[in-house]
Structure 1
Amino acid sequence: MTATATQDPFIKNLCMFIRAQDMSGAWESMSDDDVLAPYILSKEQRREIPLFGDPDPDILWRVEQYFNAIAMAIENKTGRAIAPIMKIHHEGWGRMILTAGKLVAVNSYMRELHRFGFDSVEAMSAKAQKLIDEGVATIEKYPDVAAA
């Protein structure tokens, strides 16, 4: 991971959310690279993952933590409480929405969830930043709905 990535507020928040779920404290001594390793998959690794059966619960948990960190970043920038809502079909596709008040600030459709991952920490952060910017812009465009 680059020094820039370690200073990225999104990456810091994601690591915090992941470590907060560790009841034994084992992840506290792990480096951020090790904590984020399950999110990083090469294209070859993704191709090897079969697309049949229910998505692994660990993958669903990683998706949830990823969007929790995005929601927190939007909250920090807007001052609005963000609520993530995830609906995933057993075949591995679905939707994650982040709401602020009555406003859907982010609407992210996901497919091939079995293969959820990114080429690098930087790629993961860049994708998250696009969603964060989208959420902030939507809240700024419709502040009354976000406050409702």
Structure 2
Amino acid sequence: MSDLATEVRGGTYPQSEYLAQLAAVIRAQDSYGTWDGKTDADLLADYIVTAEERRDMPIIADPEPEVLDRIEKFYDAIGLLLEKRSGIMAAQMSRISHEGFGRVVLIAGRLVVISKHLRDVHRFGFTSFQKLAEAGEKLTAEAASMIAAHPKRRGPERTSHVCDSQNPGRHGVHSEVPDRDQCRDLHRLRALLQGLRPGGDDAARGERGRRAGRGVGG
């Protein structure tokens, strides 16, 4: 699609953090760099459905797999942008029937921050890039407001925790472990897995014995 066609069909491409995130979600599936030469507007062109195109669509129709995939990516981008702004991991789940009706929810921690009923999903799209950006930004802002209003149910933030075990240098920093309780559980799991390996118990006991010996000798 030429730049002129993109400009006419979707209008002016705005500067939008949401559009950048949505384009990044799509590019993440390009394992071989096939789309490196495409602009973000080119990648998001399928989200544009003009009024004329919408009128030509049947009122009732089965949604195509490509449309369902675009809906998932639309909400995936909201979840990722929400995580950047709030520090809370978010994921979407959707269930859509073959008739084009369904529901999508976005869950952040233990909190449902978005719950939307969908209909006529075979006609899913926006008349312009500006409308697409506004829809994504609005839902992200609403989800962030929900998190702010329910701090006790949002779950832990994704923060780094420096291990406070007896030998912190051995374990370093757990970027995926938000608190000390989970840190302790992680070490217990590692110890269990070590014991399940061939010779794991003997190796662990031998290491403890060598440490004890060095302590006595010192």
Matched, 1:62 2:35: no
- Partner residue in 2 for 1:126: 134
- Partner residue in 1 for 2:49: 41
Counterpart contact for 2:60–2:120, Cα < 8 Å: no
Matched, 1:115 2:123: yes
Q: CA deviation at 1:49?
A: 2.0
RMSD after superposition: 1.5
Q: CA deviation at 1:134?
A: 0.8
Query: What per-residue deviation string (whole Å, max 9, x for no partner) do you get for residues 102-146 of structure 1?
Result: 210011221110001000010011111111111000000011111
Q: CA deviation at 1:73?
A: 1.2
SS of corresponding position for 1:145: coil
Counterpart contact for 1:14–1:66, Cα < 8 Å: yes
The one-letter code sitting in structure 2 at the alignment partner of 1:62 is R
- Partner residue in 2 for 1:94: 102
The one-letter code sitting in structure 2 at the alignment partner of 1:83 is A
Moved more, 120-129 or 52-61: 52-61
The one-letter code sitting in structure 2 at the alignment partner of 1:104 is V
The list of structure 1 runs, each at least 4 consecutive aligned residues, that deviate by more than 4 angstroms after superposition, is: none
User: Which structure has the bigger radius of gyration?
Assistant: 2
Q: 2:16 aligns with which of 8, 12, 17?
A: 8
Structure 1: which 5+ runs fail to align? none
Q: Give the total of aligned pairs.
A: 146
Question: Distance in 1 between the 2:97 and 2:59 partners?
Answer: 13
Question: Distance in 1 between the 2:82 and 2:54 partners?
Answer: 29
SS of corresponding position for 1:85: strand
The one-letter code sitting in structure 2 at the alignment partner of 1:12 is A
Q: CA deviation at 1:89?
A: 1.3
SS of corresponding position for 1:27: coil
Q: CA deviation at 1:82?
A: 0.2
The one-letter code sitting in structure 2 at the alignment partner of 1:45 is E
- Higher RCO (Cα < 8 Å, 6 or more apart): 1
The one-letter code sitting in structure 1 at the alignment partner of 2:38 is M
Question: Distance in 1 between the 2:32 and 2:54 partners?
Answer: 30
Point out the structure with the larger helix share.
Answer: 1
Question: Distance in 1 between the 2:49 and 2:68 partners?
Answer: 16
Counterpart contact for 2:89–2:108, Cα < 8 Å: yes
Structure 2 CA distance for partners of 1:116 and 1:79, relative to 1, 3 Å:
same
Question: Distance in 1 between the 2:138 and 2:74 partners?
Answer: 13
- Partner residue in 2 for 1:19: 27
Counterpart contact for 1:51–1:92, Cα < 8 Å: no
Structure 2: which 5+ runs fail to align? 1-10, 157-218
TM (norm. structure 1) is 0.91
Counterpart contact for 1:83–1:99, Cα < 8 Å: yes
Q: Percent identity?
A: 37
Query: What per-residue deviation string (whole Å, max 9, x for no partner) do you get for residues 85-113 of structure 1?
Result: 01111110111110012210011221110
